[in-house]
Amino acid sequence: MCILALQYQLVPDSPILVAANREEFYDRPSLLPSIQSGKPRVLCGIDQQAGGTWLGVNQNGMLVACCNRSKLLPPLAPRSRGVLCRDLLRCSSARRAVDQAMDELSTGKYDGVNYIIADAQSAWAVHGGDELNTVELEEGLSIVANGDVNDPRDVRVQLAARLLTLQRLDSPVKFLAVASKVFARAPGPPDRPSMILRGRDRGTVSSMLIALGKKPRDAIFQFANGAPDRVKYEDYSPMLRDILSRGLREARTKAKA
């Protein structure tokens, strides 16, 4: 399971603001975020076991992320949900990625999963549990973990919602500064909910903070290679700005043609 917060279309110059923690087995290897070959260019980390990803951004400014969820009747040999996440990042728009996700998940080849798919035009949650459905996300804050988006029964989802709405986060700097503290909330006493999970074999293994603005130069991509209460975020923004600039140039060339 993972947890992700998306603040959508509340900041005019940064319509997509995201904070996400990844939870996984500690011994499952992964590669640091890098620009993947092929078109469109994609910036994401890679799960070395299956070859997929848990969160990425493509050169068109579209973000795709996945969180595992339970499913009563999972397939015996499921296809990787992270590989599908990586496939969706090859789409040209969020709307097309949602259609592809629904087509794929309807085959029954996947274990339970939630996808968050967003670009400047629309944002969606795709719920691939025992029932398959989509939710178009409205302007504002949406949070997803291993249940439906904004699940009122999920303690961490409700904690994140409360902490991210204590003040108005009206700039990418404010959102990322607050989110970096919220998503680094360490485990404490049993009666104190936390954002970091730290189990015996698995727990929070990394964290990302992302801001996608109207201009490539304003994009931000920060990655903590470990639980963010113990590991600092490193800046990968130059790589994100590079692929977004490429995407903008290609779009302008196509428009002129």
180: part of which helix (H) or strand (E)?
A: helix 172-182
At position 95, the amino acid (one-letter code) is R
Instruction: For the beta carbon of residue 107, count every other beta carbon within 10 angstroms.
Output: 9
Encode pLDDT of 106-142 as tens digits: 999 999 999 999 999 999 999 999 999 999 999 999 9
Q: Give the pLDDT confidence score for residue 189 in this predicted structure.
A: 79
Q: What is the mean pLDDT of the chain?
A: 96
Closest residue by Cα to residue 67 from 81, 88, 56? 81
DSSP state of 198: B
d(CA 18, CA 176): 8
Q: Give the pLDDT confidence score for residue 19 in this predicted structure.
A: 98
Domain that holds residue 184: 2-256
Q: Residue with structure tokens 């196509």?
A: 254
Q: Are 204 and 23 in contact (CB under 8 A)?
A: yes
> Residues 13-42: what's their mean pLDDT?
96
Q: What percent of the chain has pLDDT over 90?
A: 92
CATH of the domain at 212: 3.60.60.10
d(CA 239, CA 49): 24
Encode pLDDT of 57-91 as tens digits: 999 999 999 999 999 989 999 999 999 999 999 99
> Residues 87-102: what's their mean pLDDT?
98
> Residues 6-27: what's their mean pLDDT?
96
d(CA 80, CA 56): 16
Q: Give the pLDDT confidence score for residue 1 in this predicted structure.
A: 63
DSSP state of 6: E
Domain count, the chain: 1
